[in-house]
A and B are shown apart, each in its own frame.
Chain A
C-alpha cells in the first residue's frame, strides 16, 4: 500500500489498489472536552486488508479517536468515511451496523453468561419468542473455524483464560459482520505466547481482507504486525509511515516528542527504550543513568541488605505451597529480578516481604531485623517500600486526592502530623514538590485531584513518588511498569536505576523479560513456588529464562 491515502475522491474507474476507498477514514476529526482538545484535526485511513497501528502515549488521544470511530463519541468537527461514504455514528449500534467492531482493552464480556450468550447479546437469534441458542452456537462455531479462533460456545466466559476471552471478543465483532476491527491495547493482558497467537490470528484476518486498527504503545509489536503506522501525540497526528520504512528509534521519537536513546540489549534480540540525562535531570537527581546502566557490576561486597531463608507460604485450601522453601539475598545497590509466568509465587513473595501475607515457614531479615510476619506498619518504619502489582487496588486510595495518596505511609509522622492533627499546608507543599519532581501530570486539578482521575502512568508515578520519597532500605517493585506507556516506563526504569546507584536493595518482580534483562543484576526464576535458578545477568538470555519459566531443567541452582 502506498503512502497516498485512498479516498472516495478517487473514483476514476482505474482498477488499482489506490482507487479503492479506505475501509474507514477519519478526516480532520476534532473532539474537544472541557479544557482539552483530545483530537485535533486527526486524519488517517485504513485500507481493506491492512493492519494499521495507532501509536501513542497515554493521553495522546488514541482512545478518544477509537470511541469516535465506534460511535461512543461524536466528533465536534471533521468526518468519518466508511468505504468512502461520509457517515455519522450516534451510538455503537450504528457503528456496528456499518461493520465496525471493537475489542476493548478491558473486555466487554459478562462472566456469568456463556460464550454464546455473550456473543449473541444485542443481536439475538430467535425462534418464536425464545433465544435460538443452537443457531447462534452453530454460527459461532463456523466463524471460529473460519478465522482460527478456537472457543467452546457452551462454557461460561468467567471460566475462560484471558486469551480465550479475547477470542470471544473478536468473535463478537465478526458475529456482527465486522469489516473493520479495532483492537485497543490487545496485548496488554496477554502472555508473550498468547500475544504471538493473537498476531497469527491478525495475519489470518488480514488475509481475509479485514481491516485492523491496532492501538498500542509497544514499538516492537507495531513493527512485527502493522503495515502502516499513525503516531499520535497531544491529540495530533505527528507522523504516518509504512512499517517497512521506519525504525523503532524514529517511532519512539515521534511518540515521546523528544530524543530518546535506544539501548541495544546485547544478550537478547530485543531493544528497550531508556533515556539519558533528560529524565534524571528533570528530577534534579545527581545520579544520572550511566552510559551503559545495564552493564553488570559487581555488587558491593558489604553484607546483604535482605536475606531470605527457606521462606514458605501456604495459601489456604491449596495442595501445594505457593512459595516453597525460597532462599536468596540482595545486596545494597543490587536489583534482584524475579522471572516467572504469573501465578508461580510472585504475589506471595511480594506479600510475605511487605507484611501483607503470612509466612508459614522460614525467615526474611532486613539486616538483622526479622521482617516475616510483622505488620506492614512495622515494615514501613523499618524502611521497606512497596510498589504493588495492582496499583489501583493495593497502591492507591482512588477517591483520595493525590496529596493524601502521597502521605499514606508517612501521615502519622512529623512534619505531616502534629499530635492528632494533620498539617494540610505542609502536606500540600510536599505533594506539590513531588508532583513537580516526579512529573505527575495532574492538570488543573493539581494536588487535590482524586487519584482515580489520573492516567495509569501518572497513578504509578504517585506510588513511586510516595515510596521513594522517604528513607528506605529495601524496595519490592512488583510489575512496576505493567500496562504503562513508553514515557512512563522509561521514567520508572530511570528511577529504579537511580535508586540502585544510591545503594538501595531492590526486588523486581516482572512478567516482562525485557525489563528484567535491562535492569536486574541477577535474575531468579520462580516455577511452581520454587526458586529453580538464579542467573547473573551476564548468563541470562531470553531463551534460557523462558525454558526455566516453563519448568525446564535448571543448569544453575541457587
Chain B
C-alpha cells in the first residue's frame, strides 16, 4: 500500500468520529443550545454499544443502542438546558463528567476481570473502482454531512432550527414552539454523537477501555467552530484534523527520521494554529447558549 493511499484511508478513519461529533454540535448549536458534551455522549455511547454487542452478539443492535445512549444523554442535556435553563456549559460539563465516571465504573464492575470482546468490528467497504476502503460508519458520516446540510438549508424544520438559534423571540411571534424545536435539534445531536461513539466500539476496535474517546469530542467541537457551525465546513475541518492525526501515525509507522515527540505534537499544533487564526472570524448563532 502506497504511503499516500495509507494516509488517505487513515485520515478518513480519524475524521469519522470528529465529523459525527461536529455534526452533533452543529445540530444543537444552530438551534441555540451549546453542546460541549459531545465527548461524554460519544464515550457513553461507545460503552453502551460495547455492552450491547457483548450481550446480544449483534453489531447492528450495538450501533442502535449507541444512538439510543446518545439520545438519552442529549435528552438530559435538553432538559437541563431548555426546560430548567441551567447554564449550558455547566450542563454539558455535567454530562462529560457523568459519561466518564459512569462508563469507567460500570466497566470496572462488569468487564475488568474477564475483559470480553465484541464479535468483531464493523466492516470496511471499498469505494467503487478504487482501492480506497472506508468503514461503514465513515461512509455514513459523509452521507449525514450532506443530509444535514440540506435539512438545515432547505427544509421547514431546518429553517425553524436556524430561526430559534438566531432570534427565538422572533420565531415565537410567528407561532413556533421554540422549546420543541430546540429539543428536537438536541435529540438529533444525540443521535450523531451516539454514532460517533459507535465508531470506537464496535466500529474500530472490539473492546471498550475507559476514557477511550481521548478528547475526540473536543476536537469535534473545534471542528464545528472552525467550520463556522455549518455541516460542510465542519466536515472539511474534521478532515483537516483527521489528516494531522493520520500524518502523525503515518510518519511514525514509516519511521521518518524526525523526533517522535515533535510528530506527536503535530495535530495539536495544527489545531492551535487553525483556531488562533480562524476562530475570531467565525460567528456563532446569535442566540447560541441563551436559554429561552
- Chain A residues with CB under 8 Å of chain B are 70, 72, 91-93, 96, 102, 104, 107-113, 117, 120-124, 126, 129-131, 172, 176
Pick the interface stretch among B160-168, B206-214, B246-254.
B160-168
In the complex the two chains form, is A91's CB within 8 Å of B175's CB? yes
In the complex the two chains form, is A108's CB within 8 Å of B173's CB? yes
Closest B residue by C-beta to A94: B175
In the complex the two chains form, is B154's CB within 8 Å of A108's CB? no
Known: A113-B166, A131-B154. A108 touches B174 (CB 8 A): yes
B136-170 contacts to A (CB < 8 Å): 150, 154-156, 159-160, 162-163, 166-167, 169-170
Give the 5 A-B CB pairs with smallest separation, nearest first.
Answer: A93-B175, A122-B174, A108-B170, A124-B156, A108-B173
Q: Which of B150, B154, B173, B286 contacts A104 (CB under 8 A)?
A: B173
Shortest CB distance A456–B (Å):
18
Q: Which of A107, A124, A129, A172 contacts B159 (CB under 8 A)?
A: A124
The complex places the Cα of A121 from the Cα of B171 at a distance, in Å, of 8
Which residues of chain A come closer than 8 Å to B174, judged between CB atoms? 92, 96, 108, 121-123, 172, 176
In the complex the two chains form, is B170's CB within 8 Å of A129's CB? no
Known: A96-B175, A121-B176, A123-B174. A131 touches B155 (CB 8 A): yes
Shortest CB distance A122–B (Å):
3
Shortest CB distance B61–A (Å):
29
The complex places the Cα of A553 from the Cα of B170 at a distance, in Å, of 44
Shortest CB distance A163–B (Å):
19
Known: A108-B174, A121-B176. A126 touches B156 (CB 8 A): yes
Which residues of chain B come closer than 8 Å to A113, judged between CB atoms? 159, 162-163, 166
Known: A102-B173, A108-B173. A121 touches B166 (CB 8 A): no
In the complex the two chains form, is A131's CB within 8 Å of B156's CB? yes
In the complex the two chains form, is A117's CB within 8 Å of B166's CB? no
Closest B residue by C-beta to A93: B175
Shortest CB distance A354–B (Å):
29
B108-123 contacts to A (CB < 8 Å): none
Which residues of chain A come closer than 8 Å to B155, judged between CB atoms? 129-131
Q: Which of B150, B163, B172, B175 contacts A110 (CB under 8 A)?
A: B163
The complex places the Cα of A176 from the Cα of B176 at a distance, in Å, of 14
Shortest CB distance B206–A (Å):
38
Q: How many residues of B contact A (CB 8 A)?
A: 19
In the complex the two chains form, is B166's CB within 8 Å of A92's CB? no
Which residues of chain A come closer than 8 Å to B171, judged between CB atoms? 110, 121-122
Which residues of chain A come closer than 8 Å to B169, judged between CB atoms? 108
Which residues of chain B come closer than 8 Å to A120, judged between CB atoms? 159
Shortest CB distance A383–B (Å):
40
The complex places the Cα of A219 from the Cα of B173 at a distance, in Å, of 29
Which residues of chain A come closer than 8 Å to B176, judged between CB atoms? 121-122
Closest A residue by C-beta to B285: A112
Shortest CB distance B86–A (Å):
20
Which residues of chain A come closer than 8 Å to B286, judged between CB atoms? 111-112
Q: Can you list 14 A-B contacts (CB < 8 A)?
A: A72-B173, A91-B175, A92-B173, A92-B175, A108-B169, A110-B163, A111-B167, A112-B162, A113-B159, A113-B166, A121-B171, A124-B156, A130-B154, A176-B174
Shortest CB distance B156–A (Å):
4
The complex places the Cα of A196 from the Cα of B107 at a distance, in Å, of 72
The complex places the Cα of A129 from the Cα of B156 at a distance, in Å, of 8
The complex places the Cα of A92 from the Cα of B44 at a distance, in Å, of 41
The complex places the Cα of A111 from the Cα of B154 at a distance, in Å, of 18
Which residues of chain B come closer than 8 Å to A124, judged between CB atoms? 156, 159
With A92-B174, A112-B162, A131-B159 given, name 11 new contacts (CB 8 A).
A96-B175, A108-B174, A109-B167, A121-B174, A122-B160, A123-B174, A124-B159, A126-B156, A129-B155, A130-B154, A176-B174
In the complex the two chains form, is B166's CB within 8 Å of A112's CB? yes
In the complex the two chains form, is B170's CB within 8 Å of A109's CB? yes
Shortest CB distance A106–B (Å):
9
The complex places the Cα of A102 from the Cα of B169 at a distance, in Å, of 14
Which residues of chain B come closer than 8 Å to A104, judged between CB atoms? 173
The complex places the Cα of A124 from the Cα of B155 at a distance, in Å, of 9
The complex places the Cα of A357 from the Cα of B248 at a distance, in Å, of 50
Known: A129-B155, A130-B154, A131-B154. A121 touches B163 (CB 8 A): yes
Which residues of chain B come closer than 8 Å to A126, judged between CB atoms? 156
In the complex the two chains form, is B172's CB within 8 Å of A92's CB? yes
Residue from B150, B169, B172, B174 having most chain A Cβ neighbours under 10 A: B174
Which residues of chain A come closer than 8 Å to B163, judged between CB atoms? 110, 113, 121
Closest B residue by C-beta to A133: B154
Shortest CB distance A303–B (Å):
49
The complex places the Cα of A129 from the Cα of B154 at a distance, in Å, of 9
Which residues of chain A come closer than 8 Å to B167, judged between CB atoms? 108-111
The complex places the Cα of A122 from the Cα of B175 at a distance, in Å, of 6
Residue from A70, A108, A117, A122 having most chain B Cβ neighbours under 10 A: A122
The complex places the Cα of A108 from the Cα of B170 at a distance, in Å, of 4
Residue from A110, A172, A176 having most chain B Cβ neighbours under 10 A: A110
Which residues of chain A come closer than 8 Å to B170, judged between CB atoms? 107-110, 121
The complex places the Cα of A124 from the Cα of B159 at a distance, in Å, of 9
Shortest CB distance A112–B (Å):
6
Which residues of chain A come closer than 8 Å to B156, judged between CB atoms? 124, 126, 131
The complex places the Cα of A482 from the Cα of B95 at a distance, in Å, of 47
The complex places the Cα of A398 from the Cα of B170 at a distance, in Å, of 23
Shortest CB distance B158–A (Å):
8
Shortest CB distance B254–A (Å):
46
The complex places the Cα of A112 from the Cα of B175 at a distance, in Å, of 20
The complex places the Cα of A91 from the Cα of B177 at a distance, in Å, of 10
Which residues of chain B come closer than 8 Å to A123, judged between CB atoms? 174-175
The complex places the Cα of A107 from the Cα of B173 at a distance, in Å, of 11
Which residues of chain A come closer than 8 Å to B162, judged between CB atoms? 110, 112-113
In the complex the two chains form, is A110's CB within 8 Å of B166's CB? yes
The complex places the Cα of A96 from the Cα of B176 at a distance, in Å, of 12
Kindly supply a per-residue 1/0 record for chain B positions 174-202, scoring 1 wherever the CB is within 8 Å of any chain A CB and 0 otherwise: 11100000000000000000000000000
Closest B residue by C-beta to A120: B159
Closest B residue by C-beta to A172: B174
The complex places the Cα of A76 from the Cα of B155 at a distance, in Å, of 39
The complex places the Cα of A112 from the Cα of B164 at a distance, in Å, of 12
Closest B residue by C-beta to A124: B156
In the complex the two chains form, is A121's CB within 8 Å of B160's CB? yes
Shortest CB distance A357–B (Å):
23
Which residues of chain A come closer than 8 Å to B150, judged between CB atoms? 130
Closest A residue by C-beta to B176: A122
The complex places the Cα of A172 from the Cα of B160 at a distance, in Å, of 15
The complex places the Cα of A121 from the Cα of B175 at a distance, in Å, of 9
Residue from B154, B167, B172 having most chain A Cβ neighbours under 10 A: B167
Residue from B159, B160, B162, B169 having most chain A Cβ neighbours under 10 A: B159
Shortest CB distance B200–A (Å):
32
Shortest CB distance B51–A (Å):
35
Kindly supply a per-residue 1/0 record for chain B positions 74-105, scoring 1 wherever the CB is within 8 Å of any chain A CB and 0 otherwise: 00000000000000000000000000000000
Closest B residue by C-beta to A176: B174
Shortest CB distance A137–B (Å):
14
Shortest CB distance A174–B (Å):
13
Shortest CB distance B43–A (Å):
33
